[in-house]
Chain A
Amino acid sequence: MLTLENLSTADAKRPLAGLNASFEAGRIYTILGRTGAGKTELLRTLIGLDPIRSGAIRLDGADLLHRPVRARQMAMVYQQFINYPHLNALQNVIFPLRRQNVDKATAVARAREALALVGLSDFETRMPSELSGGQQQRVALARAIVKNARILLMDEPLANLDYKLREQLREEFPRLLHKNVDGVILYTTTEPGEAMQLGDEMVVMHDGKIIAHGDPGDLFDNPPNVEVAQLISDPPISVCDGRIFGGMACFTDGSPARLAGGGLHDGTAVRIGIRPDALAIGGDIAARVTLAEFSGSDTILHLQLPFGQAAMLLDGIHEFQPGHGLDVALDAQSLLLFSQEGANITGRIG
Chain B
Amino acid sequence: MNRTYLIVKYLFLLAWSTFVVFPFLWALSTSFKDANAVTSGARYIPWLEFEPSTQGWKSLFTSGSQGINIVTPFLNSATVTLTASAISLVLGTLAAYGLSRYQFRAGFVKNSDITFFFISQRIMPPIVLAIPFFLMLREIGALDTILGLVIVYIALLLPIAVWVMIDFFGSIPKELDEMAMIDGCTPAGAFLRVILPNSLAGLVVAGMFCLIFGWNDFFFAFTLTFTKTQLLPVAIVSLNSSVTPWWSLSAFALISVTPLALVAILVERFMSRGSLSGAIR
Contact = CB atoms under 8 A, between A and B. Distances in A.
Interface of A: 47, 49, 68-70, 72, 74-76, 78, 80, 82, 84-86, 95-96, 99-100, 143, 147
A80 B173 contact: yes
B90 interface: no
A76 B179 contact: yes
A282 B195 CA distance: 62
- The DSSP consensus for interface residues of chain B is helix
Given A84-B194, A85-B198, A86-B198, A75 B176 contact: no
5 contacts: A47-B182, A49-B181, A69-B178, A74-B182, A99-B183
B197 interface: yes
Nearest to B199: A86
B132 interface: no
A47 B185 CA distance: 14
B186 interface: yes
B179 A100 contact: no
Contacts of B125: none
B173 A69 contact: no
Contacts of B184: 70, 96, 99-100
A112 B12 CA distance: 53
Contact of B179 (A68, A82, A86): A82
Contacts of A82: 173, 175-176, 179
A96 B183 contact: yes
Given A84-B194, A86-B197, A86-B198, A76 B176 contact: no
Given A47-B182, A49-B178, A84-B176, 13 more contacts: A69-B181, A69-B182, A70-B186, A75-B182, A78-B179, A84-B179, A84-B180, A84-B198, A85-B198, A86-B198, A96-B184, A99-B184, A143-B183
Nearest to A99: B184
Contacts of B186: 68, 70
Nearest to A101: B184
Interface residues of B, number: 16
Nearest to B186: A70
A13 to B, nearest CB: 14
Contacts of B197: 86
Nearest to A49: B178
A69 B174 CA distance: 14
A82 B173 CA distance: 9
- Interface core residue of B180, B182, B186, B198 (most chain A CB under 10 Å): B182
Contacts of A143: 183
Listed from nearest, the 7 A-B pairs whose CB atoms lie closest are: A99-B184, A96-B183, A69-B181, A86-B197, A82-B175, A70-B184, A82-B179
Given A85-B198, A86-B198, A70 B185 contact: yes
B71 to A, nearest CB: 40
A80 B174 CA distance: 11
- Interface core residue of B178, B183, B186, B194 (most chain A CB under 10 Å): B183
Contacts of A86: 194, 197-198
Contacts of B173: 80, 82
B175 A78 contact: yes
Given A78-B175, A82-B173, A70 B194 contact: no
Nearest to B184: A99
A69 B180 CA distance: 10
A49 B181 CA distance: 9
A225 to B, nearest CB: 34
Contacts of B181: 49, 68-70
A86 B198 CA distance: 6
Contact of B182 (A76, A80, A84, A85): A76
A147 B183 contact: yes
